[in-house]
Structure 1
Amino acid sequence: MQSQSIEPNLKALFQGVDTNKNGQLSENELRNALVNGDYTKFNIATVRLMMKMFDRNNNGTIGYKEFCNLWRYLGEWRKLFDRFDLDRSGSINYDEYCRALEAFGYRLSNQFISFMYNMHSAFDRQGVRVISFDMFVQSCLSLKRMTDVFKKYDKDRDGFITLAFEDFLYEVMNLT
């Protein structure tokens, strides 16, 4: 029932950003459809990640069905984001980010969390570092992808791996 009420709005959004009317969204067109709570466009790296994840036929564009799947996926991420945005500021501060990573099951050092936070945050109007919705998704997906690669090589689940240099290069290049 809910997807039926959203469907016409999604179709209108899709058609509105499909500027060349070819029924496919390019990277730039998709970026015009995806905005944060403060109406800023998604970071281009996040858009590229979404394209890579949802372009099922690998044609470099997103069709309407792919767009609907992406939209639902981002809706689930929005629920998570809102769950951890405790102060309802529309962004994630450092403490909220720490809570989110812990809730996702990550046991990381403060030094590494700070590194990730600084890598994905930006200064807001008050000069405070915060993470926007798109960058929250990007940081969490990047961490999950890296974790999945690590787990592939950590056969005995002891938290340590030995990896040949070329295997390392292959895995890093596949992440980008």
Structure 2
Amino acid sequence: MTRYAFRTPMLAVAAMLMGAAIVLRMLVPAAPMWAPALILLSAIAIGMVALTRYAASCENAPPALQRRYTREMLIGMGSYTVLLFVSLLWLRELEAPALRAVVALLPVAPIALVLRAMVRFIRGVDELQQRIELEAICIAAALVSFAYMTGGFLQAARVIDVPSSAAMLWVFPLVCGTYGVAKSVVARRYR
């Protein structure tokens, strides 16, 4: 595999997310402004990582594992994007709380598939790569938890006012983005 084997799939995910942000804004104008902004920010972050040398941070994985991971991630993220739109469109027309809950949770299943792909990838790499992954996720979880707690204190003091739904939806993308940055820093230590 080439040094930048993950560049194309990462750029595909970035393009898919960018398209999702645009379509969301056009199809669901009533959606909160932060929703397409969050998706667009994720697309930009993934695209930036894909265009840097850090796209090769998984190059130590066996080619079959890399292909499986890429396939599972693309399927999961593609399904997430589709189900997010479906759910947002249906939620505009549904009134029953139980049905609204089911429809609102539709995008959660593909995210579970993405998490499963990540765990399978980590289990398939060697011990050094597992250590890098573990350190990176620990750093990401700690930093995002610290930021979330800090925001909670500022919210409680009425210094800031962030809608709870927006704050909750930002946690996972922030952990993923922080994990990517932490992984590049941690991996550099072991080179």
TM-score by length of 1: 0.31
Q: Per chain length, whose mean CA-contact separation is higher, i.e. which structure has more relative contact order (CA < 8 Å, sep 6+)?
A: 2
Q: Which has the higher helix share?
A: 2
TM-score by length of 2: 0.29
